[in-house]
Structure 1
């Protein structure tokens, strides 16, 4: 109960702090309900959304070589609240104190901190997730190495920076501060709004800046449905992501995700079986920009990505020209290249049948390994919270559902 009271006081200080800086908070209430996360609740009659009138900006502009993620993470790291206490940051202390204190549910923490009881789950993940986790670990490690050049406080550890980095990576939102729309520094931490939960069924809120550029525009959070009722929870849609992306980036998975499976590891085996020809086909796919990211999809109806179809077609159409060194016969892939240009829709009936057979074989292998993984998880007594294991099960269930959807379709 004491911890719950402390959390409530933090929220009250945060709302007061925001109100003093111009945010309309009269219609705002934060409640904890029996589910994971902190939902946002509109409590006034007839509320259409939540509105942030003024941006909370630092009083001083910093000119460094750090990216936005590195800079904000560094600031949070330096002002991380002590256990059971508040952040001493004079600029953003109430906000930093309201941020999540622990990320035991996030797979990056399992990977970086070896003493996590959930680390054992890393060996039970689908293959594509291990690759994605390695990529996010490289991003984190690179940012940590860069920030150490600026971090003079010996008391700030890698664990502190991981806490800060995960807060930024899981809670920042797009906010344009650069001329280019796609610049990676177009992000901001947004008090209160960053506690809205994700829904895959269409967001209830979306940010609307009062002007496109430059930065410092006011931001309204507009309800996208006709009316938000008092007591109704407000959601964002993080994007049409598969569970593997939600899990690696945010640390959760949901039953209603946009079903998608990456079968890169299985199709790469097919190319390796072709020996010299397989390596030459890999070179062709790499030069054309189609090597990897081969996915199966379940929504809106089962389909395979064009990248996967392109790789399958090359797999079953290319032939060797026995020269010194061997090379792919240009004539054997002439029609294949026409499918890339859009001047040909299909290859020969024989090639398309071979592609379908290989695709179905891959789907059956996905189903088999999903069933095997789920059986192991069901029968194992893992030394980690049950919720973590259930999340990993969702990942495998999604893979199986997508593969079954492809097999049951006309593809």
Structure 2
């Protein structure tokens, strides 16, 4: 079920766009049952057509903000970054939206980011995979670091503020930039002046199947998105945020996609906790030390149709039993294990190779059981809150 959005806020936004020189498009904002708000084709769109054109004057970039903050930034030094300054700018616009001239755009930004893991309550955060939790911790630290630097910047630029800037205000603005910015040149993603907020373009949702190309057109002085796929009238039009797995998309954008071809599962902790019959604690530690010395400790992943070589390597070593490092038999098995890594042998032994898929399946079964337990906890938490 799809419903075209024609509320006053969106109509005001369209009028604002027209005043800013944005050309008409074959897109309109709509509510989709499976993805929420997104852009719908109002007419058939051919492959190769430009679907969105954003004039340079409406792009919010480090360059466009130079006239407002350039001298202040120059006096402050090189502690600032584009993400931090654009987030500060959005936060300041929200403090005085009527005066900014950007109210129609600001009204259409998300009111909150509760689907972002960085905003999860502890009982929900604790159910996330550990690699996702680690990603969230880094993101939280980055937001906090940028906020502290922003406060330091504002101490000598307090005239910019209508009121003190609270962490929650800055976090919201930082997430606006993080979830909606584009790279003006994908080849220069580390350039300080490379990210931008692009009104209208940022209403397009992501799918890994979308094929588009974005480029800045010097002739029209605008950023354009061209679709390489056709769309029929009434279909949702998508862009592609990049070849990211669902864990990355969840942390950075607050959603996941079904049938994501880039999905993989990190199994580092599950590998460490896997019980191998006959493996003593001493033997396990010695094996893990060997993996570390050989450069194969950690980063064990399962893809949709593949098992990583690192995981296979780790499992082969774990399945050498009995394991007595001082014995000739164990030393021979270790040497053969190194030969397998180097491609000089196909296997340590036929028995070892036979057991590898069995224990990888066992690892998967234990992970599934663990996941079901967490899902049951989640369902119970949601039922309790309802």
TM-score between the two structures when normalised by the length of structure 1: 0.72
> What is the match of residue 219 of structure 1?
223
Q: Is the 8 A contact 2:207 2:239 kept in 1?
A: yes
Q: Is the 8 A contact 2:117 2:254 kept in 1?
A: yes
1:12 equivalent to 2:20? Answer no
> What is the match of residue 356 of structure 2?
355
> What is the match of residue 392 of structure 1?
none
User: Take 1:369 and 1:49, find their aligned partners in 2: how far apart are those partners?
Assistant: 46
User: Take 1:261 and 1:172, find their aligned partners in 2: how far apart are those partners?
Assistant: 27
> What is the match of residue 293 of structure 1?
299
Structure 1 residue ranges without an equivalent (≥5): 112-118, 324-328, 386-411
1:160/1:384 Cα in 2 relative to 1: closer, same or farther (>3 Å)? Answer: farther
Give the C-alpha shift of residue 160 in structure 1. Answer: 0.6
SS at match of 2:140: helix
Give the C-alpha shift of residue 346 in structure 1. Answer: 4.1
1:10/1:267 Cα in 2 relative to 1: closer, same or farther (>3 Å)? Answer: same
1:197 equivalent to 2:197? Answer no
Q: Is the 8 A contact 1:87 1:96 kept in 2?
A: no
SS at match of 1:29: strand
Choose which of 159, 165, 168 in structure 1 pairs with 2:174.
165
Give the C-alpha shift of residue 157 in structure 1. Answer: 0.8
Q: Is the 8 A contact 1:198 1:236 kept in 2?
A: yes
User: Take 1:381 and 1:295, find their aligned partners in 2: how far apart are those partners?
Assistant: 30
> What is the match of residue 93 of structure 2?
79
Choose which of 139, 151, 164 in structure 2 pairs with 1:155.
164
1:75/1:334 Cα in 2 relative to 1: closer, same or farther (>3 Å)? Answer: farther
TM-score between the two structures when normalised by the length of structure 2: 0.76
RMSD: 3.6
> What is the match of residue 395 of structure 1?
none
Matches within 5 A, 1:135-284: 135-152=138-155, 153=161, 155-176=164-185, 181-183=188-190, 185=192, 186-200=194-208, 202-203=209-210, 205-210=212-217, 218-225=222-229, 227-258=230-261, 259-270=263-274, 275-284=281-290
> What is the match of residue 110 of structure 1?
120
Give the C-alpha shift of residue 267 in structure 1. Answer: 0.9
SS at match of 2:256: coil
> What is the match of residue 32 of structure 1?
31
1:230/1:278 Cα in 2 relative to 1: closer, same or farther (>3 Å)? Answer: same
Name the larger-Rg structure: 2
User: Take 1:41 and 1:157, find their aligned partners in 2: how far apart are those partners?
Assistant: 36
User: Take 2:13 and 2:290, find their aligned partners in 1: how far apart are those partners?
Assistant: 56
Structure 2 residue ranges without an equivalent (≥5): 156-160
